[in-house]
Amino acid sequence: MSEADRIQLEGIHLAFGSRQVYRNLDCRFPRGEISVLMGGSGAGKSTLLRLMAGLLRPDRGRVVVAGEEITSLSERDLFRMRERIGMLFQGGALLDAMTVFENVALPLREHSRLSETDIRAEVERRLVAVGLPDTGGLMPRELSGGMLRRAALARAIVTDPEILICDEPFSGLDPLNVRRIEALLIELNRRLGLTMIVTSHHLPSSLRMASQLVFLIDGGAVVGTPRELLASEDPRVREFLEAETAGMPGFEAVPGVAS
Amino acid sequence: MISALRTLGYRTVMLLEHLGHMAAFVGEIGLNLVRPPFRFGRLVMETFDVGVLSLAIVCLSGATVGAVLGLQGYNTLTRFGAEGSLGAVVGLTLVRELGPVFTALLVTGRAGSAMAAEIASMVTTEQLDGLRMMSIDPIDFVVTPKALAMVLVMPMLNALFILFAFFGGYVIGVQLLGVDGGTYVTSLENAITFEDDVAGTLLKSVVFGLLVGIIATYRGYTAEPTSAGVSAATTGTVVTASVTILIFDYVITALWGV
Amino acid sequence: MQRSPTRDLTVGLFVAAGLAAIGYLSIQIGGLSYKGDGGLELYAVFDEIGGLKERAPVAVAGVTVGQVTAIALDDVLRARVTLDLDAGLELPSDSSAAVRTSGVLGDQFIALEPGGEEELLVSGEEIAFTENALSLERLIGKFVHDSGIEDE
């Protein structure tokens, strides 16, 4: 196990009923890099994130997070392990009975000994960082999709985790908001050196931000840099890329995809 | 024949597994009750949702049930010239049976279903997973305050239901049908004792509160993360809790004679 | 946690009302402890108390002035009843106690008949004159027996 890898998956098997999701899947996510998980619906992108977060256990195989094997941890040890991980859920997963401020403040209130003034300042700083100043008093249902995603991002990073897991951060957003969140994620990665694992359908932004692309195909993972995968001769990868880029005018700009 | 036996075996195993999960769930709640942090603020919030929001329907139903009892009781008792015992009839019926059972069924419909739906929709929208990722145990943060509020609030609502029902019976029996007011009150107070009746009603309502709290939170917590799952958890809570309340009512009455 | 003053107040009012309701039910209606002053404790010994129970009311001229707190058998197998009465009650020493029934189906209670003596009963004393509970069976039995003798 190399110290360069923040998360390692080894020989993962998982089935939901009769549906085999992973068959002997191996994959590693390097420290300080942005990895983007791609694959069709049902390929198990979100499920893989849940495995890494310890929200789900594989049928077989090892999940190693920051050098610690987590598949055999108790629920209590998992809570300790998760303090290293921030997670951005697809729907935001903000508690809808609390204001945005209280949502972002919650991890601090639970796990830090900061005074009320410090918490207030810290939350405000994070909300400004994601471009949502003065929204602390709003309820999550009063936010638009893009704002919700950014508020959730503020909550995910408020305790300064080493690893940030993002489930479909771009889905259902307009291009402007996609760009905004993409820029935020890249900035977080550059400035804080966060290891990031992102699932996405959105090929252009994935290609822009990823230093490693992971394609989930047929229960396994095909891993490489964007450049390598775009040049890949693997018919399954080509099929996916072509389906994703079909009908996207001007996509010739991305090398290797132009047909 | 073989297949019928196999089905029976499967059902039995499923039931046992289900009960096992439920027992573990209840154990978790119990553990969180005695282990800090004690989430007093959340308990207040849940007390509001369970208690204050159920107050109107409980009081209104209480007064109505009391009025009906007053009317029925009077019509029956007057045949024996015993309308002086109206207070005793209304009082004993309410304190021993109707109060706790009615209140528990009303609270199940009003607050128990809402509780299950809320937790189930938190499952669906990944809010519970969100809590887990913040290293917060959803059973500690969400489930325990809700279940505890149910247990604390049920005897209070039960007592309020009974008092409103006494009042309803008084209005009908005394104001409308002409039973002597003093006789009604004296007969009621003499018929009811703390040891035999009031303690029983409190025991029943605490047990019912516990049942509704556990069933509602468990059904919500284990809901499928879909909108069908939310509605199944809600309906399931009302059906399971109602039947369980009636069964336990019989059991408590049979065992302790209240 | 998010605190809202209005909600906290409402919850506070609700809990106060709920506890008051439980208290009222237990103490006033359930008679957990007698509501009056108490203080004047008297005894009365009966040959027969019928269906008299603890917590039965004690009345003077129909007004409730206390309750039965204990019923026990004394050395000579008579029923010794302890009465807890309002402290301010001025009961002459030759007053009498009777076990009576209220209404047709009603419960039994103790009716006190004040006497004419100047001296008053004080706590711990015994009411000397008592009248037993009327037993319907015994009454009928006696009537049949008596009339039988007369007929012979």
Higher-scoring residue by pLDDT: C107, A175: A175
Give the E-state strand segments of A66-157 in sequence order: 68-69, 85-88
Report, as an integer, the average pLDDT of B4-14.
91
Listed in sequence order, the residues at least 6 apart from A94 whose beta carbon sits closer than 8 Å to its beta carbon are: A100, A103, A140, A148, A151, A152, A155, B127, B130
**What domain range includes position A122?**
98-160
Partners of C28 on chain B (C-beta within 8 Å) are 189
Residues B58, B28 share a domain: no
Report, as an integer, the average pLDDT of A117-137.
90
Higher-scoring residue by pLDDT: B76, A202: B76
Residue of C nearest to A105 (CA): C1
pLDDT for the residue numbered C33: 55
pLDDT digits (tens, 9 = 90+) for B52-69: 999 999 999 999 999 999
Q: In whole numbers, what is the pLDDT of chain B averaged over residues?
A: 92
Residues B149, B112 share a domain: yes
Give the E-state strand segments of chain A in sequence order: 5-16, 19-30, 34-38, 60-65, 68-69, 85-88, 163-166, 195-199, 212-217, 220-224
CB pairs under 8 A between A and B: 56
**What domain range includes position B127?**
37-256
C18 and B159 in contact by Cβ < 8 A?
yes
CB pairs under 8 A between B and C: 98
Report, as an integer, the average pLDDT of B92-97.
92
pLDDT at C135 over 80: no
Residues of A with CB under 8 A from a CB of B: 50, 53, 55, 75, 78-80, 82-83, 85-87, 89-91, 93-97, 106-107, 110-111, 155-156, 159
Question: Which of C3, C17, C22 is opposite residue B41, by nearest beta carbon?
Answer: C3
Q: In whole numbers, what is the pLDDT of chain A averaged over residues?
A: 86
Residues B78, B112 share a domain: yes
Look up residue C78 and give its two tokens: 């008579």
How far apart are the CA of B233 and the nearest CA of chain C, in angstroms? 27
> CB of A93 within 8 Å of any CB in chain C?
no
Residues of chain B above pLDDT 90, percent: 76
A53 and B133 in contact by Cβ < 8 A?
yes
Partners of C1 on chain A (C-beta within 8 Å) are 102
Residue A152 within a domain: yes
- Per-residue confidence at A256, pLDDT binned at 50, 70, 90? very low
- Per-residue confidence at C116, pLDDT binned at 50, 70, 90? confident
Partners of C2 on chain A (C-beta within 8 Å) are 98-99, 102
Residue A122 within a domain: yes
- Per-residue confidence at C75, pLDDT binned at 50, 70, 90? confident
Residues B19, B85 share a domain: no
Residue of C nearest to A107 (CA): C1
> CB of C4 within 8 Å of any CB in chain A?
no
Residue of C nearest to A106 (CA): C1
> CB of C31 within 8 Å of any CB in chain B?
yes
Report, as an integer, the average pLDDT of A237-249.
73
The kind and range of the H/E element at B16 are helix B2-34
Report, as an integer, the average pLDDT of B29-37.
89
Residues B196, B215 share a domain: yes
Residue of B nearest to C7 (CA): B48
Residue A29 within a domain: no
pLDDT digits (tens, 9 = 90+) for C34-44: 445 567 888 98
pLDDT for the residue numbered B253: 92
Number of domains in chain A: 1
Q: In whole numbers, what is the pLDDT of chain C averaged over residues?
A: 81
Edge-to-edge strands, sheet with C57-60: C126-127, C39-46, C79-86, C63-73, C57-60, C108-113, C96-101, C129-131
Question: Which of C26, C57, C107 is opposite residue B194, by nearest beta carbon?
Answer: C26
pLDDT digits (tens, 9 = 90+) for B66-93: 999 999 999 999 888 888 889 888 999 9
Residue of B nearest to A152 (CA): B130
Residues B124, B17 share a domain: no
> CB of B53 within 8 Å of any CB in chain C?
no
pLDDT at C150 over 60: no
How far apart are the CA of A111 and the nearest CA of chain C, in angstroms? 14
pLDDT at A71 over 60: yes
How far apart are the CA of B250 and the nearest CA of chain C, in angstroms? 22
Residue A104 within a domain: yes
Listed in sequence order, the residues at least 6 apart from C6 whose beta carbon sits closer than 8 Å to its beta carbon are: none
- Per-residue confidence at A253, pLDDT binned at 50, 70, 90? very low
Report, as an integer, the average pLDDT of C128-148.
76
Residue A144 within a domain: yes
pLDDT at C4 over 90: no
Partners of A148 on chain B (C-beta within 8 Å) are none
Partners of C26 on chain B (C-beta within 8 Å) are 194, 198, 202
A79 and B135 in contact by Cβ < 8 A?
yes
pLDDT at C103 over 70: no
**Least confident window among A41-50, B8-17, B61-70, C37-46:** C37-46
CA C42 to chain CA centroid, Å, is 12
Residues of chain B above pLDDT 70, percent: 100
List the chains bordering chain A where 3 or more Cβ pairs fall under 8 Å. Answer: B, C
pLDDT for the residue numbered A234: 83
Report, as an integer, the average pLDDT of B4-8.
90
Residue A109 within a domain: yes
A87 and B137 in contact by Cβ < 8 A?
no
Partners of A88 on chain B (C-beta within 8 Å) are none
Partners of A102 on chain C (C-beta within 8 Å) are 1-2
Partners of A98 on chain C (C-beta within 8 Å) are 2
- Per-residue confidence at C29, pLDDT binned at 50, 70, 90? confident
Higher-scoring residue by pLDDT: A37, C5: A37
How far apart are the CA of A104 and the nearest CA of chain C, in angstroms? 12
pLDDT at C1 over 70: no
How far apart are the CA of A77 and the nearest CA of chain B, in angstroms? 10
B130 and A94 in contact by Cβ < 8 A?
yes
pLDDT at A96 over 50: yes
pLDDT for the residue numbered A6: 83
- Per-residue confidence at A257, pLDDT binned at 50, 70, 90? very low
- Per-residue confidence at C106, pLDDT binned at 50, 70, 90? low
pLDDT digits (tens, 9 = 90+) for A149-201: 999 999 999 988 999 999 998 888 888 888 888 998 999 899 888 999 999 88
pLDDT at A131 over 60: yes
Task: Please list, residue by residue across A159-180, b when 16 or more beta carbons sit within 10 angstroms of its beta carbon and e when fewer do.
Answer: bebbbbbbbbbbeebeeebbeb
Higher-scoring residue by pLDDT: A181, B207: B207
- Per-residue confidence at B155, pLDDT binned at 50, 70, 90? very high
Report, as an integer, the average pLDDT of C48-54.
82
B136 and A86 in contact by Cβ < 8 A?
no
Other CB atoms within a 10 A radius of the CB of residue C121 amount to 23
A85 and B133 in contact by Cβ < 8 A?
yes
pLDDT at A14 over 50: yes
pLDDT for the residue numbered C149: 54
pLDDT for the residue numbered B120: 96
Residues B103, B143 share a domain: yes
Can you give the residue ranges of every domain in chain C? 1-32, 40-141
pLDDT for the residue numbered A227: 85
Number of domains in chain B: 2
pLDDT at A19 over 60: yes
Rounded to two decimals, the ipTM of the complex is 0.86
Report, as an integer, the average pLDDT of A95-102.
91
Q: What residues pair up with A224 in beta bridges, in sequence order?
A: A213
- Per-residue confidence at B149, pLDDT binned at 50, 70, 90? very high
Other CB atoms within a 10 A radius of the CB of residue C19 amount to 13
Residue A68 within a domain: no
CA distances to A17, A39, A94, B90, B126 from A99, rounded to whole Å, are 39, 35, 9, 48, 17
